[in-house]
Structure 1
């Protein structure tokens, strides 16, 4: 039961810029002072209290900017107005009901050929479910070449192509497949679009980078070309829905740089049962982290964001597969960016990130275990706290183990601070 002492902890976190752990303990988030990163891995079975003891209290402490995965959409519904009252800019990217969402167009963040290559690689990688086609990497490379060329058309402002992922998918329909033997890319409408664009672009600027990638793709054998095109169309299929077409077309209502400039909370609504929109969610996370890192590196004093940004990523092992995250997490501390990864088990993390899962955990200076039935996760915790495996598997419900680099492990009761909130001007009020 929450009490006045717990209420005061939440208020102290707000006043002093502290983070809150599930045992109610506050920790200093000044990573320069503590010489620890603020990355946190939280392991716990469904119903262990991960949201109520960590996610909600840390959001309501109103300390940093936040990018929060919201698997059921409940966090936005309950706390958006409250965060506005606390002076926050609230952004809602709703993949559950995209027709109600703020606008997010991934192509608005393609500024150069490097960004085009990165986005193409993400789509191919994540389109295969988070792993590359290891049996025949040739297919991956060919698919990336085609996507680079199509994204390049948008980047180079080809007037025949709209700035949306769905318009890229529609370009692939401008190829006629009579049968595998008569398939001829040279006679297609897509080829004519590229030829016209290359001629116009050369007159105004220089050789078209998009056309160069297209020529490389054209060297692929005809039968392989047809299979690759169909595969990419399947990957981009969800973008054809009416809601996503509207949400991902035209200009953004979100600028990632401003998240590091002023207190902002982004709720990303992503269904925990419908996996069809995971690709867009993962592109969003990747672009957000890349844009914030670039902003810190090139435009901010000491390469640190004016307002620190915390990614709170629920269901991280399944619907938060950020491409290249194992490299990002080891470098984001210096920019005042941190990530909280919420998982049910270590196996869930391995499923999403393979052998890189160890790198990800090793770059979290705080690990929280809130109980569960996965033996491998329990074994990892058993070794860390030097306790018998059976004791970890049978730990009482409502308790947790917390490991902080440089400190002894702590076994504590889980504290629910979700019943309290910080109001504007520092007032504390119970929500009931």
Structure 2
């Protein structure tokens, strides 16, 4: 039995009984299928962002926080949210910053245009329309003509000189035209996932607000295909947006959320890099936001975040539960985390010559690892090693079948569980794929 049946499913149930909120990454969708009915009985609002079967998913618009800020007239906050989502989409520069900054400038300005200019047409306020706005407005013009985006920006500057998009596009505007072409191409590549009609259907509107998660017991499951990591970038984006919104909400309430929110991030090593995640870990607890991250090995953290940031992330994790790992470096670090103890070392030596013999013995006090890396590697289920600020301990993690949660969830044998998943999955409501609705503003500029 793996971590799902020994730790994660029990954690989800305990958090529901504690009346706390949770955001759960759910490879394959098993956690949702098994626990959703029980959570609802506990009075928890349950939502699923289903990247496996988007037509069964709840809706979540990644631009919603920006839309809400613009609606309330808080343009400063709206611009902050624009840069937050843009930074997450574009990521950190791996080479010269010019290219990242230019791409980010294009995406940020076009997000603001799509949101700001469609306050009366909410069906167009989504990232799919941002993609097609860039794709159409940034097409290479005919010889002697001007690009449609440039025409649009000039018109915008005349009609509304203080339009927030004008400042956002300034970074890319000062670059040569050939360089700007690379910005447009990179922006389209970054937003390509939103051209999928099913992802559009998921993200065209919103069924819940992030602050709802911190106001009343709520569970959001991010159901992800386990065979590919394509949509993990969107899961990372969702986690980042929710954290940002919850932090702002907590600040308005004196610094702490009414309901504690728990991130339960299975297969965290597959997530794309979350900006400032080390900081979120260290300050989130004070706001009532707690992280539970599950990785196959510590090397996954170093691959995504680099050695130094990965070290900070590890040090900010107060409680470690070691189940099993094949990675030697992980075993060594767990061994080092346990520390050493003092033990007695005995030595005996002897020598013999023709008619005489000599022997000596000594007793020394030496330091020894509480568990060596080799001994750590021998830990097997159902045992686990738990470390915290207190003394470490070898504990047991029984399979779910040994817990009352097995009955609470309605589970049984493997065959029964497979059949139950199929029944519950088939019972989920499916919405229609209505086709992508496009703003079409570019048609006014086409000759």
Normalised-by-shorter TM-score class: 0.7 to 0.9
Higher gyration radius (CA): 2
Change in Cα spacing, 1:361 to 1:137, as seen in structure 2 (3 Å) is same
* TM alignment of 1:15-414, pairs within 5 A: 49-61=2-14, 62=16, 63=18, 64-110=20-66, 111=69, 112-125=78-91, 132-158=92-118, 162-173=124-135, 174-177=137-140, 187-202=146-161, 207-249=162-204, 251-298=205-252, 300=253, 302-319=254-271, 321-354=273-306, 355-385=308-338, 386=369, 387-405=371-389, 407-414=390-397
Unaligned runs of 5+ residues in structure 1 are: 1-46, 126-131
Unaligned runs of 5+ residues in structure 2 are: 70-77, 339-368, 413-447
The aligned residue for residue 17 of structure 1 is: none
Shift of residue 265 of structure 1?
0.7
SS in 2 for 1:91: strand
Counterpart Cα distance in 2 of 1:210 and 1:235:
19
Give CA deviations for 1:160-188 in whole Å, capped at 9, x if unaligned.
Answer: 99211111111122223369xx6x8x812
Q: Do 1:419 and 1:430's aligned partners in 2 also have CA atoms closer than 8 Å?
A: no
Counterpart Cα distance in 1 of 2:401 and 2:259:
24
Counterpart Cα distance in 2 of 1:151 and 1:201:
17
Change in Cα spacing, 1:257 to 1:137, as seen in structure 2 (3 Å) is same
Shift of residue 192 of structure 1?
2.6
Could you say which structure has the greater relative contact order, defined with CA pairs below 8 angstroms and 6 or more residues apart?
1
Aligned residues: 364
Shift of residue 217 of structure 1?
1.3
Counterpart Cα distance in 1 of 2:261 and 2:336:
32
Change in Cα spacing, 1:430 to 1:419, as seen in structure 2 (3 Å) is farther
Q: Do 2:38 and 2:408's aligned partners in 1 also have CA atoms closer than 8 Å?
A: no
Q: Do 1:317 and 1:353's aligned partners in 2 also have CA atoms closer than 8 Å?
A: no
Give CA deviations for 1:378-398 in whole Å, capped at 9, x if unaligned.
Answer: 000111223212111233343
Runs of 4+ in 1 over 6 A off after TM superposition: 427-430
SS in 1 for 2:282: coil
Change in Cα spacing, 1:236 to 1:421, as seen in structure 2 (3 Å) is farther
Counterpart Cα distance in 1 of 2:380 and 2:223:
32
Change in Cα spacing, 1:422 to 1:252, as seen in structure 2 (3 Å) is same
Structure 2 length as normaliser, TM-score?
Answer: 0.76
Q: Do 1:313 and 1:341's aligned partners in 2 also have CA atoms closer than 8 Å?
A: yes
Counterpart Cα distance in 2 of 1:292 and 1:242:
29
Give CA deviations for 1:379-427 in whole Å, capped at 9, x if unaligned.
Answer: 001112232121112333432111011x11112332224654569xxx9
Counterpart Cα distance in 2 of 1:155 and 1:331:
31
